[in-house]
Amino acid sequence: MDQFTVQPEAAGTRLDLFLAAQRPEHSRARWQQLIREGRVRVGGQARKASHEVRTGEEVAFEVPPPEPAGLVPQEIPLNILFEDADLIVINKPPDLVVHPAAGHATGTLVNALLHHCADLAGIGGELRPGIVHRLDKDTSGALVVAKNERAMSGLVHQFKEGLVQKEYLALVWGHVEPRTGQIETLIGRSTHNRKKMSAQPETGRRALTDYEVMEQFSTAAVLRVRIHTGRTHQIRVHLAHIGHSVIGDVVYGRARRDELPAPALRQMLHAHQLAFAHPRTGVPLAFTAPVPEDFRTLWRAFRESDKLRGT
């Protein structure tokens, strides 16, 4: 087992925080897991994560090799915006599930990533190797994946503290007024349908979304949307909450196919820009995911439809 001796300046620090500071390549959550598994000893004794270390204490630990994720690598094409030894930024296409789950054991982004980067297996100690955040299956755009434990820890911290800038483009129904606005509600699981989220739950977590109209059509609009929190389905729930559901979103809106000037075979939501600090160097990084063809086609179709109508 490896070990550290607690120095005076670290005295009074929680055990999990002490370890995360000494070995930042592992996240605090990972250290808490190792403590629960009995792989950390203080003075030869098992302690809780909340134990406050004292000067001179010997903290011994054992970090096992990453667990094999038990997932199948698959040769699925990836649109890579950036890659280095620590992370990879993908432009996720629509209709691609991020990680395996019930009904999607293969054919996911994780399967593709494991083929592209075999060392990804087990990062984070979960069955979602390297996955720091997610996009819905039918949402396209920029997504960052960690390639090692240190990058995982740093990126998770930035997402948790709201340090990551996320900007989306959304095609929505209706005439949006005001043209700029902020939506703030609690978001939680719907009491009527457990597969849906709701902006008016009895209990929920704070969610904050900013929007700006980029282009207004007679029956629809293109919005630039920035989220300050990362709740499940946040943008879709918030835009439906103000009466402007995302076009193609049949969960929080209606299909309305007969009102479309071009097909919308999925929800018209695209993660356009993603900015964060490099988890190892601290250098600011910013990425723009090109707008996919189906989104651009519908955008142009609404514009041309209005021209034909003279509106």
| The two structure tokens encoding residue 102 | 């019930």
Tokens read off for 286: 């910013």
Options 16, 136, 138, 249, the catalytic residue: 136
Residue 86 appears among annotated catalytic residues: no
Can you give the three-state secondary structure of the chain, one letter per residue? CEEEECCHHHCCCEHHHHHHHHCCCCCHHHHHHHHHCCCEEECCEECCCCCECCCCCEEEECCCCCCCCCCCCCCCCCCEEEECCCEEEEEECCCCCCCCECCECCCCHHHHHHHHCHHHCCCCCCCCCCECCCCCCCCEEEEEEECCHHHHHHHHHHHHCCCCEEEEEEEEECCCCCCEEEEEEEEEECCCCCCCEECCCCCCEEEEEEEEEEEECCCEEEEEEEECCCCCCHHHHHHHHCCCCECCCCCCCCCCHHHCCCCCCCCCEEEEEEEEECCCCCCEEEEECCCCHHHHHHHHHHHHHHHHHCC
Q: Could you tell me the strand order of the sheet in which 40-42 lies?
A: 2-5, 58-61, 40-42, 45-46
Nearest to 145 by CA among 117, 125, 107: 117
Residues taking part in catalysis: 136
